Structure 1
Amino acid sequence: MNESGVYRSSGTNNAPLPLPNVEQVELQAMLDWLSTYGADAQGGVTRLLYDSAWCEAQGALAAKMQEKGLSPEFDQSGNLYGTLKGEGEGEESATGVEELPVVTGSHMDTVVYGGKYDGAYGVVAGVLALEYLQKHFGAPKRTLQVVSLCEEEGSRFPFAYWGSRSITGMTALEAVEHLKDQDGVTFAQAIRDAGFGPDSAYRPAAKNYGAFIELHIEQGQVLERLGHSIGVVSDIVGQKRFSITVSGEANHAGTTPMSWRKDALAGAAEMITAVRNIALEAGEPLVATVGRITADPGVGNVVAARAVFSLDIRHIRQESIDRCWQDMLQAFSRIAAEQQLGLDWEEHLSVTPIPMNAEMISDIQDTCEQEQLSYWLMPSGAGHDSQIFQPACPTAMIFVPSQDGISHNPLEYTAEADLMHGFRVLVRLLYKYGYGS
């Protein structure tokens, strides 16, 4: 074992594995089963943190883990673990370092009217992978776990990654217990009503991992368009999000000459065009998005006095995000001055880019070659729990294709053959880290 906590290649790690075919694993059936918890009238799945559908799903999954030969356990945050105990659990390695568990999994919660694959695929695949390994190889040398993280999406409360943040110790309950959902229910009340929290019988959430592997649908079109079976995630992008406010002067649409206007909406439109042009000039993988704009007073025959638009900038390098924002701000300021408009901005989110573990990336690539699967080294343009775990332990992400790139939608779909490709890569990695010498 190296100092990063994951096993490197050795004789047994590359031994042939009797891996299953698609018809031999209940991946799709178990995903369909899990999607019945929170099934909504729109044909999708809605499981929000600590609501009844979420509670039922986590409870049913705990029973399923038990059925599959794993030891289920909740923590105080509501994260659910299924453990395949290693022969040397609690013992020190030859280097004097305790053998911490290697963990796979993803999140249980969904967006409102979401799909059945986002998050759930990584959880289901982890459960079935550990069942398969135990059935064919017995107890591992090193403890393996699957975790169904309680929350990632931020769909109920204005806070995301609660599951992974609580495990890594990044965020304590005290920091979020005051938050309220749209019905006015506080986070503290919701966690108590679900049977969790510091007053429950469960152990604290904070825990150390030896490594974390997240198997996930891509939620984009890259793999499908390029014809690759597996995405090997190199980095998870950083993000900056802003609200930009442009102030002008309301006036009559028919009696105010064009050259005399202080039209906030026209100024905002020119700024939005600048966003696109600056992002195109910066080149991939930088992306910048204006997804929302409002105008005041919002009347068809009145020059707008005020316009507010959102701005989302993402890249795998922080310096590129910062440079792009400064270029855009300079352009906004120039446009505002030329059109005699006011300009204000507020930053709502700043997330640093996170590179995945280099050794684990290499292991995934080796595994894809063993499985004769075409792979693509790519960044993740969406945020994931892996970006929370990577600073705490070696972490890797594996993507499988999403049909038409659709996600957070009832139409979200990944073909069963693609699901199986990801599953086989996961099994090989867990065998390498759990059973290797």
Structure 2
Amino acid sequence: MLGSLVYVGGMTPEKAYDIVGIDGARFGDELARIGYNGWAPCPGTTPKAFVELHIEQGPVLEAEGITIGAVDSVQGISWSELSITGVSNHAGTTPMNMRKDPLFCAAEIARFVRQLSEEIGNNQVGTVGKIDVSPNLVNVVAANVEMTVDLRNTDEILLRQAEDQLEEFCNKLADQEDVKIKKKQLARFEPVAFDLDLVQKITEIADSLKLSSKQMPSGAGHDAQMFARICPSAMIFVPSQDGLSHNPKEFTSKDDIEAGGNTLLRLILDIAGG
């Protein structure tokens, strides 16, 4: 989504080039290394509309036996990195009530993220996807933990509520366990609503092709949400087998891909003729 964000003017190329990955590599340097540091001016030309065909990356369409998802919105995304600092100590000689254990705190945060998401509801999801422990030894109370938290919701107010509650929980936990917890915001995007006319056209085209369809939000981020800033935008989803994505077993059948392609083609022709 970084390329589309720059294209629509949401970020300057210079700022994008200076982004540094978790491996320490600078984005602009890596683009130059592989020959992809393009010359096209940004912001670019504003299109009449933007429509993106994509696999669902989730289980809903397959579970409900539906072929086409007419995507009406994209969830807001909040990514943060938490650095928890305690005191490294001997696992056998340090009493439980005298520990400053960042790994215990990380486990409590992971549990809270799950509980928080279930309590808020309304498409709220929360994920702890990465944990690095130091020194990561069997007989040593950890000294430091780096972890990530991914919060998403289609409602901006509820997403902010989740962020606030997580921060409050971390502050209380740090005091309770006598550790330090520092937060770094990695990414933040507000929820995006797609063009209702395009969404409706997708369902109408699916009906004309005798394809089952439903309106649904996207839980993942996509280029279309960036283009929604400058032109009417929407997405078409096709089913993901077993709901798997970011997984070597990710698969969508040829029939479903064809159905999505035909829906996209009809929509493009409709837009071009309108």
Q: TM-score, normalised by structure 2?
A: 0.89
Corresponding residue for residue 233 of structure 1: 71
Say how many residue pairs are matched.
Answer: 273
SS in 2 for 1:176: helix
Deviations 1:231-276 (A, max 9, x none): 1111111111111122222222112221222222112211221111
Alpha-carbon distance change, 224 to 246 in structure 1, aligned in 2, over 3 angstroms: same
Question: Is residue 127 of structure 2 the alignment partner of residue 289 of structure 1?
Answer: yes
How far residue 203 of structure 1 moved from its aligned partner, in angstroms, is 7.4
The one-letter amino acid of 1:287's match is: V
Corresponding residue for residue 191 of structure 2: 353
Question: Is residue 140 of structure 2 the alignment partner of residue 302 of structure 1?
Answer: yes
Residue identity (%): 34
Instruction: Choose from 41, 61, 74 the match for 1:223.
Output: 61
Question: Is residue 89 of structure 2 the alignment partner of residue 243 of structure 1?
Answer: no
SS in 1 for 2:78: strand
In structure 2, C-alpha distance between the alignment counterparts of 1:195 and 1:398, rounded to whole Å? 28
Higher strand share: 2
Question: Is residue 258 of structure 2 the alignment partner of residue 417 of structure 1?
Answer: no
Question: Is residue 214 of structure 2 the alignment partner of residue 373 of structure 1?
Answer: no
Does the 8 A contact of 2:8 with 2:229 survive in 1?
no
In structure 2, C-alpha distance between the alignment counterparts of 1:213 and 1:259, rounded to whole Å? 57
SS in 2 for 1:420: helix
The one-letter amino acid of 2:102's match is: A
Corresponding residue for residue 8 of structure 2: 168
Does the 8 A contact of 2:102 with 2:179 survive in 1?
yes
Question: Is residue 105 of structure 2 the alignment partner of residue 264 of structure 1?
Answer: no
SS in 1 for 2:203: helix
Alignment of 1:56-205 (within 5 A): 152=1, 160=2, 162=3, 164-178=4-18, 187=28, 190-191=31-32, 194=35, 197-198=38-39
What CA RMSD, in Å, does the superposition of the two structures yield over aligned residues?
Answer: 2.5
How far residue 180 of structure 1 moved from its aligned partner, in angstroms, is 6.8
Instruction: Choose from 112, 117, 121 the match for 1:279.
Output: 117
Question: Is residue 196 of structure 2 the alignment partner of residue 344 of structure 1?
Answer: no
Corresponding residue for residue 221 of structure 2: 383
How far residue 178 of structure 1 moved from its aligned partner, in angstroms, is 4.5
SS in 1 for 2:117: helix
In structure 2, C-alpha distance between the alignment counterparts of 1:293 and 1:287, rounded to whole Å? 18
5+ unaligned residues in a row in structure 1: which ranges? 1-151, 153-159
In structure 1, C-alpha distance between the alignment counterparts of 2:253 and 2:197, rounded to whole Å? 29
5+ unaligned residues in a row in structure 2: which ranges? none
In structure 2, C-alpha distance between the alignment counterparts of 1:259 and 1:195, rounded to whole Å? 55
In structure 1, C-alpha distance between the alignment counterparts of 2:26 and 2:172, rounded to whole Å? 44
Q: TM-score, normalised by structure 1?
A: 0.58
Once the two structures are overlaid, the 10-residue window that deviates more, 312-321 or 186-195, is 186-195
Structure possessing the higher radius of gyration over alpha carbons = 1
The one-letter amino acid of 1:169's match is: G
Does the 8 A contact of 2:123 with 2:153 survive in 1?
yes
In structure 1, C-alpha distance between the alignment counterparts of 2:146 and 2:26, rounded to whole Å? 29
